[in-house]
Every structure is written in C-alpha cells, then in structure tokens.
Amino acid sequence: MLRRVAEGVLIHQSEFVQSNAVVVRGRAGVLLIDPGVTGSELDCLANDLRELGQPVVAGFSTHPHWDHLLWHARLGEAHRYGTARCAAVVRDQLSDAGAKARIAAHLRETEIAGRVPLDLLGLVTGLPAGTAVVPWDGPQVRIIEHQAHAPGHAALMIEERGVLVAGDMLSDVLIPMLDHSKSTDDPVEDHLAALRLLEEVADDVDVLIPGHGSVGGADQVRARIDQDRAYVHALRDGRDPGDPRIGPSARPGWEWVSDVHTGQVRSLARRGERDGAPS
C-alpha cells in the first residue's frame, strides 16, 4: 500500500530488502521512481494509483541495477528516464541476450524466485549529460548525479517538498556498497565524493528516502551521511568499522550484510594488490 511521507510524495515498500518505490504527484499524473519488486507488488502499486486517479506520466531509475529497472504493463507507457551514463550501462547489459536469464537464475536463490517480471526491464531513456532536472509537469526534481555504488547513479531532490530520494545510499539497514566493477578507478573516493554532494543539500532535506530501508527525518540525514562516511573510511583503512548494520548487532534477517562487508574487504585488497603490482 502507498504511504504518504510528505506533501505529494508517497512510497510503496517491497517485502524484498525493504525496497522503496517513490511516487511524486504532479499536475496531470505522477513521477514513479524505482518501482518494484514483485509482480504482485507492482500490480498493487498500479491499483493504488488507479484509485488515486493518478496515471504515471514519467518514470525514473536511480541507477542501473535490476531491482531499480523494473516496470509493469499496468503502469503504462510513460517515458522512463535515467542519467545518460545509467542508460548507457543498461543498454550494454541488455545487449547480451542472456542478461535476463542470468538475473532470473540469480533470483532463484532468493525468496522472490519466479515472482519478478523482467519483460519490461531496463527500458530507460538516457537524459542528455548534465541535465539538471527531471523533465515532467510537476514539482521540480533536481538530479544529483554521482558515481558511487553504480555508474550514473542519481539522487533526486524534490526541492518544493524537502524530500531527498537517495537511491542506494544512506540506508539504515545496508552498508555503503561500493562499485567494485571496472567502471571506476577508485570506488572509495567515488563514494566519499557522493557523500559530499549529498551533504551539500542536507540542510534542505526534511524527508530522506533510501532505496532500501526506513524513511528518515531531517535529523537522520547528516547522521546517516556521517555513519556511511565512517564505514567507508574504516573500509579504506583496513579497520573494523564497528558498524551496527553488520556483526552481532545487525538486525534479525539482515545478517547477510556482514557477508557483503567481507566481500568488499576482499575486493579492495585484490584491487590494492593489482594496482601495486609491478608492470
């Protein structure tokens, strides 16, 4: 069910890793950000919007990971946007005929196996590089592009509502998940740079919506930025982060986040060995 979090802004939270779909009401319909995740949840979202009498007039994917690229036929055929770099990554991914099959195979290992519609996955139009706002007839939604977590990642600032849609940043349940792909030379600095960008708008935020996890108020914005920065610094420096999202203090059901942390430690170690190896 849709839940109001600010004037004209609602969320629909999935049972899958607390994924947040965001609805922003405009003049003629809504902007739908990162809808997901299962077919029944997308169907429920479509039903809620129909009851509100609000068609989807635009969509936006914050970054090119499968769970942020979903859609449902009942949501209509509105333009679905992303940053230019996000869209380029998606095109490259989907140019491989086996891409959807690999996602489906991955999902077979999860509790949502067979329940995620992939037929409309990733039909994203890239906005021209440097585009500052989402093109739609509604409250101005500013695009804050950075390269943390995934290439072409965007946070969205709904300035008239004081709402920051953070994508896969600033979660209370997930640690910062760095981009360990070959698309970046320095995933640590990419993440720290993104946190600095989000910090620049922190004083204007009344409501923080992460891609996964709990919605936060104004008092949570800087606290989550500081927590994420402390984690990234500890990861960079090879220290125990002492982060409550991992280890014995992790929330029940979220123990697997510790495995993500362990994987990141190993990935940075391998990158360091490679970069330090003689040519």
Q: Do 212 and 19 form a contact (C-beta atoms < 8 A)?
A: yes
Query: What's the CA gap between 167 and 34, in Å, rounded?
Result: 8
Neighbouring CB atoms inside 10 A of 191's CB total 26
Q: Where are the alpha helices (DSSP H) in 1-129?
A: 39-52, 84-94, 99-107
Is the bond preceding residue 37 a cis peptide, omega within 30 degrees? Answer: yes
Q: Can you give the pTM of this predicted structure? A: 0.96
| pLDDT confidence of residue 191 | 98
| pLDDT confidence of residue 174 | 98
What the chain holds in terms of domains, given with CATH numbers, is: 3-276 (3.60.15.10)
Q: Do 9 and 156 form a contact (C-beta atoms < 8 A)?
A: no
Q: Do 38 and 53 form a contact (C-beta atoms < 8 A)?
A: no
Nearest to 127 by CA among 145, 147, 148, 149: 145
| pLDDT confidence of residue 182 | 81
| pLDDT confidence of residue 278 | 41
| pLDDT confidence of residue 181 | 86
Averages of pLDDT over runs of 10 residues in the chain (279 residues) are 97 97 97 98 97 97 98 98 98 96 96 97 97 98 98 97 98 96 91 98 98 98 98 97 94 95 96 66
Contacts of 59 (CB under 8 A, 6+ apart): 31, 32, 33, 35, 71, 75, 78, 79, 80, 81
| pLDDT confidence of residue 279 | 32
Nearest to 59 by CA among 85, 45, 79, 39: 79
Q: Do 90 and 151 form a contact (C-beta atoms < 8 A)?
A: no
